[in-house]
Amino acid sequence: MKSCTVALVAFLLVICLSCFGKAANQKGIGASFIFGDSLVDAGNNNYLPTLSKANISPNGIDFKASGGKPTGRYTNGRTIGDIVGEELGTANYAVPFLDPNSTGKAMLSGVNYASGGGGIMNATGRIFVNRLGMDIQIDYFNITRKQFDDLLGRSEARDYIMKQSIFSITIGANDFLNNYLLPVLSIGARISESPDGFVNDMIEHLRGQLTRLYRLDARKFVIGNVGPIGCIPYQKTINQLTEDECVDLPNKLAVRYNARLKDLLTELNDNLPGATFVLANVYDLVLELITNYKQHGFTTASKACCGNGGQFAGIIPCGPTSSMCSDRNKHVFWDPYHPSEAANLIIAKQLINGDTTVISPMNLKQLRDH
């Protein structure tokens, strides 16, 4: 009898310890709300009549959760958003807003609003006919925000959004690639605006967008700067560069925008009480992978694994008829535009644990516990 009681007490103790462990975890992060473009789209464009789609093989070939079937992610496996969610302890991947399943409890791990072709500016990505720009992504979050009130009750919903949710924003590359740099008069903005004028417009819009999210109770933000878009296989191919070269103008535009973004986030950290805006230095992280690709275990940083055309397979996007490399872990780029899962893993781990040269003023582990 006595030993039975002891066993029972020990048993309950174990259960309780594991239940406290869980509660502590859940306190860390509940939801990951993801905004942005094709770098983090997890399937929204599947539901849009658009020319920018990734729900065709072999995209997703290494994505375990779908058994290797395409999901709408523009890479062979997980996006940076997926990996960050996993590492910070959300129960599931953030569900795409346009997915019919994005209702009820499925939203508690977060919702993904990102859309291939989307940008800060409304006109960005018009060449794809359809995509969700940032303004619309935030309109959609406004809908989610009300659903959370119904799901959790107003006070708990507010707490959950403010304290247990991280808002990540990966946007801006398309404003250059699929707007400002487009040579077609009626689509691009370059004819009528100077580089500084255009970057200024982007920053003004982004300030408004981030402030809107703050008004909807977002408090923990991470915003990625624009990567070295002059080094992607597409740009290198159409400009007929050699392996070690990158196109100058796109990189210069990214650097200009990134400097202004840094100032904007400092300003918002000063002006919006209770909010933390973290800058993810994607530009330097990706440039490091491209420059020192061999040290990071890759055999090429110029040639797309999946794609066709020119010396870097950089013209025709990845699809069923594309040629595909034999070792997907050895390519920094999966397709003419997007990093491979292997590259995404290295970048994500840096954002989670890295120092202030890559993520500042704090990394994502610290933001979670902040």
242 contacts ligand NAG (rule: CB under 6 A): no
From residue 32, alpha-carbon distances to 10, 64, 126, 348 in Å are 36, 20, 28, 14
> Cβ 39 to ligand NAG, closest distance in Å?
21
Upstream peptide bond of 195 is cis (omega within 30 degrees of 0): no
Question: Which of 51, 56, 91, 136: binder of ligand NAG (CB under 6 A)?
Answer: 136
162 contacts ligand NAG (rule: CB under 6 A): no
215 contacts ligand NAG (rule: CB under 6 A): yes
> Cβ 203 to ligand NAG, closest distance in Å?
14
**280 by DSSP, 3-state: which?**
strand
Q: Which of 32, 102, 168, 338 is labelled catalytic?
A: 338
The position carrying tokens 């992978």 is 289
Token representation of residue 208: 């408004």
Under 8 Å between Cβ of 31 and 164: yes
Q: Which of 32, 38, 168, 322 is labelled catalytic?
A: 38
> Cβ 205 to ligand NAG, closest distance in Å?
7
349 contacts ligand NAG (rule: CB under 6 A): no
Q: How far is CA 171 from the centre of its chain?
A: 8
Upstream peptide bond of 361 is cis (omega within 30 degrees of 0): yes
Under 8 Å between Cβ of 182 and 47: no
216 contacts ligand NAG (rule: CB under 6 A): yes
> Cβ 193 to ligand NAG, closest distance in Å?
15
Catalytic annotation present for 155: no
- CB closer to ligand NAG out of 122 and 366: 122
201 contacts ligand NAG (rule: CB under 6 A): no
Long-range contacts of 263-266 (CB under 8 A, 24+ apart): 264/203, 264/206, 264/207, 264/210, 265/223
Paired sense of beta strands 220-224 and 276-280, if any: parallel
The residues with which 223 forms a beta bridge, in sequence order, are 169, 279
200 contacts ligand NAG (rule: CB under 6 A): no
Distance, in Å, from the CA atom of 290 to the CA atom of 243, rounded to the nearest integer, reads 10
Taking CB under 6 A as the rule, which mask of x and - marks residues 105-134 in contact with ligand NAG? -----------------x------------
- CB closer to ligand NAG out of 101 and 186: 101
101 contacts ligand NAG (rule: CB under 6 A): yes
User: Taking contact as CB under 6 A, which single stretch among the options 161-169, 210-218, 321-329, 338-346 is the one that binds ligand NAG?
Assistant: 210-218
Distance, in Å, from the CA atom of 354 to the CA atom of 77, rounded to the nearest integer, reads 22
In degrees, rounded to 5, the angle at the alpha carbon of residue 13 between the alpha carbons of residues 8 and 14 is 100
Question: Which of 142, 266, 323, 357: binder of ligand NAG (CB under 6 A)?
Answer: 142
HEC-encoded secondary structure of 55-87: CCCCCCCCCHHHCCCCCCCCCCCCCHHHHHHHH
207 contacts ligand NAG (rule: CB under 6 A): no
212 contacts ligand NAG (rule: CB under 6 A): yes
Catalytic annotation present for 18: no
99 contacts ligand NAG (rule: CB under 6 A): yes
In degrees, rounded to 5, the angle at the alpha carbon of residue 106 between the alpha carbons of residues 344 and 154 is 115
- CB closer to ligand NAG out of 157 and 229: 157
Catalytic annotation present for 52: no
# residues near ligand NAG by CB under 6 A: 9
92 contacts ligand NAG (rule: CB under 6 A): no
- CB closer to ligand NAG out of 8 and 143: 143
Helix H or strand E encompassing 33: strand 31-36
Distance, in Å, from the CA atom of 92 to the CA atom of 351, rounded to the nearest integer, reads 19
Q: How many residues does the chain have?
A: 370
- CB closer to ligand NAG out of 216 and 272: 216
Distance, in Å, from the CA atom of 250 to the CA atom of 254, rounded to the nearest integer, reads 6
List contacts with ligand NAG (CB under 6 A): 99, 101, 122, 135-136, 142, 212, 215-216
Question: Which residues are part of the catalytic machinery?
Answer: 38, 335, 338
